[in-house]
Amino acid sequence: MNLSTNISQELLETVERYINQNMTSDELKTFEHKLESDSEFKVQVEDIKTLLFGIESQSLKEKLNSFHEDIHKDKTHNIRYLQFRKIAAAAVIILSIGSFWFFNQNSNDKLYANYFYPDPGLPTTMSSTNNYKFYEAMVNYKQGDYQTAISKWELLQHSKPNNDTLNYFIGVAHLADKNEQSAISFLEEVTKNSNFPLANDAYYYLGLAYLKTGNIDIARRNLLNSNSDKSKALLSELND
Amino acid sequence: MRKVDYTSNKTNYRSDIVSAIKANDNGVLKSLYKANYYKVEGLVLKNNGTKDHAKDIYQDAFLAVWKNVQLDKFTPQNESSLHGYIYTIAKNKWMDYLRSKDYKKTIVSDEINDRNASLEDSETNSDDIIKEQRLTSVMQAFKDLGEPCKSLLRQFYFDKKSMKEIANELQLDAASTRNKKYRCMQKLREIALKIDK
């Protein structure tokens, strides 16, 4: 707040009327004119708005914990929603099968070459967390030393077999290392979790891996599950 | 005879939910909060997080969504778009956290910017950052404000109670309540100014 002048009670209440749209049309006209012509006035009004919004925001923030209290009491309805999502996803897949039949092996290799580039990876930081080993491997990955990265991540994976982040990067590293079959098995694992933050990328790379192995239908199916632009672009070229 | 308006369903939902959120309707906010929590918890738990992480991220996201609706930065077209929006904001926040761990401030990475460019459209320009800082100062100041003032301002500005109602509860007349409210605002402003420096 950069204002040195005081806010009068009158101004406060005028601004409240303005925000709550309780002004007469004449008062509103005068008020808006002053807002445009008087920059100090404008700053004062902005400050009052910030004060009021801050009160509201903090009030809500302090309320959220009370909302949270009965959250783990009723958990069942959520499952039904997830079931619905699965059925919807299955419907999309079924619709997409059989829609397209023709493809050309050579042009698919070309497409793969045009579309494949390794995932940029996660930013690596000098951290002392227990994720150090994970990021150490990430450095290898970024340097293009995929096999070292994979072997380090696979060590971590023994203790965390279901970690989607690990599976994802092991998968994309295999793909970058031209080992499509291994990539597919890891990425398939990852795409079982539709909540994974990189799910779009996972489907994309899975699609690419299948494209490389010549399974165009399965490639399409996976690309359809990804919302990313590159996925859509690749799909449209596949359909041409 | 009254005409049936077939389009009204959609628009009604929109204005109803938006006005309920803007009015801080307790029931609406609470059910919105509860309806979207489990999905976010599932996401966080599946991706290296704990229930505490999930709660923090979710509350952060929920507050951000509420703000954007209040400020007309986001106007939901229907219920599922509102739910989707809450989930997306929470997911983005968790991705930010995952990608940066606790070292957010030390990272300058094109990759992050590239991937998140489409997500954070409202918080990128410097004007917005200054506004956001001021808002944070006021929020902190309100947190630190003594309870009598806090309660008075909360009832008036958050619960949207009328001056008359509040005056009745405080057993004061309307004029004294107004004065009290004004003095509380001054106090809040002073604390916020100190924090802002």
CA distances from A231 to A20, A92, A112, A219 (A): 47, 16, 12, 10
CB A237 within 8 A of CB A219: no
Three-state secondary structure string covering chain B: CCCCCCCHHHHHHHHHHHHHHHCCCHHHHHHHHHHHHHHHHHHHHHCCCCHHHHHHHHHHHHHHHHHHHHCCCCCCCCHHHHHHHHHHHHHHHHHHHHHHCCCHHHCCCHHHHHHHCCCCCCCCCHHHHHHHHHHHHHHHHHHHCCHHHHHHHHHHHHCCCCHHHHHHHHCCCHHHHHHHHHHHHHHHHHHHHHHHC
Q: Give the integer Cα–Cα distance in Å for B153 and B151.
A: 6
Closest CA to A57 of B131, B158, B116, B84: B158
- Substitution target in B22, B143, B157, B186 with the highest count of A β-carbons within 10 Å is B157
pLDDT at A83: 66
Chain A CB contacts of B54 under 8 Å are none
- Eight-class DSSP state of A7: P
Query: Are A54 and B67 inside 8 Å of each other by CB?
Result: no
Q: Which pair of structure tokens corresponds to residue A24?
A: 């007469």
Q: Are A111 and A239 contacting, i.e. CB atoms less than 8 angstroms apart? A: no
Q: Which two tokens stand for residue B5?
A: 């308006």
Sign of the alpha-carbon dihedral angle for B107, B108, B111, B116? positive
| 3-state DSSP percent of chain A in helix, strand and coil, to 5 | 70, 0, 30
Asked if residues B120 and B132 have their Cβ atoms less than 8 Å apart, the reply is: no
A33-68 pLDDT tens trace: 999 999 999 999 999 999 999 999 999 999 999 999
pLDDT tops 50 at residue A154: yes
- A158 band by pLDDT with thresholds 50, 70 and 90: confident
pLDDT digits (tens, 9 = 90+) for A115-152: 788 887 776 655 555 577 787 888 888 888 888 888 88
- Give the chain B residue whose CA is nearest to the CA of A130: B101
> Is A71's CB within 8 Å of B131's CB?
no
* Average pLDDT rounded to a whole number, residues A104-112: 68
- Name the burial class of residue A204, with classes exposed (0-12), middle (13-18) and buried (19+) by CB atoms within 10 angstroms of its CB: buried
For residue A50, CA distances in Å to A41, A57, A166, B9, B71 come to: 14, 10, 44, 34, 11
* Residue A186 Cα, gap to closest chain B Cα (Å): 16
Per-residue pLDDT of chain B (197 residues; tens, 9 = 90+): 444 444 444 445 556 788 889 999 998 999 999 999 999 999 999 988 889 999 999 999 999 999 999 998 888 887 788 999 999 999 999 988 888 766 444 444 444 444 444 444 444 567 778 888 899 999 999 999 998 999 999 999 999 998 899 999 888 888 999 999 999 999 999 999 888 77
Q: Is the predicted pLDDT of residue A86 greater than 80, yes or no?
A: no
pLDDT at A80: 56
Smallest Cβ–Cβ distance between B192 and the set A1, A70, A120 belongs to: A1
Beta carbons of B142 and A54 less than 8 Å apart:
yes
Is it the case that residue A196 has pLDDT exceeding 90? no
Write down the ipTM of this complex: 0.82
Percent residues over pLDDT 70 in chain A: 80
Report the SS3 class of residue A104. coil
List all residues 6 or more positions away from B166 whose beta carbon is below 8 Å from its beta carbon.
B152, B155, B156, B177
Please answer yes or no on whether A68 and B33 come within 8 Å at the CB atom: yes
CA nearest to B112, candidates A15, A137, A133, A121: A121
At residue A89 the predicted structure's pLDDT band, cuts being 50, 70 and 90, is confident
How much is the pLDDT for B119? 47
Q: What is the pLDDT of residue A195?
A: 81
Q: What is the largest CA-CA distance in chain B?
A: 67
Q: Count CA within 13 A, CB hemisphere, residue A157.
A: 19
Torsional sign, CA B73, B24, A18, B127: negative
- A83-92, A140-149, A219-228: the lowest-pLDDT one: A83-92
- Determine the average pLDDT of the residues in A169-176: 90
Burial of A119: CB neighbours in 10 Å, binned 0-12, 13-18, 19+:
buried
Average pLDDT, chain A: 81
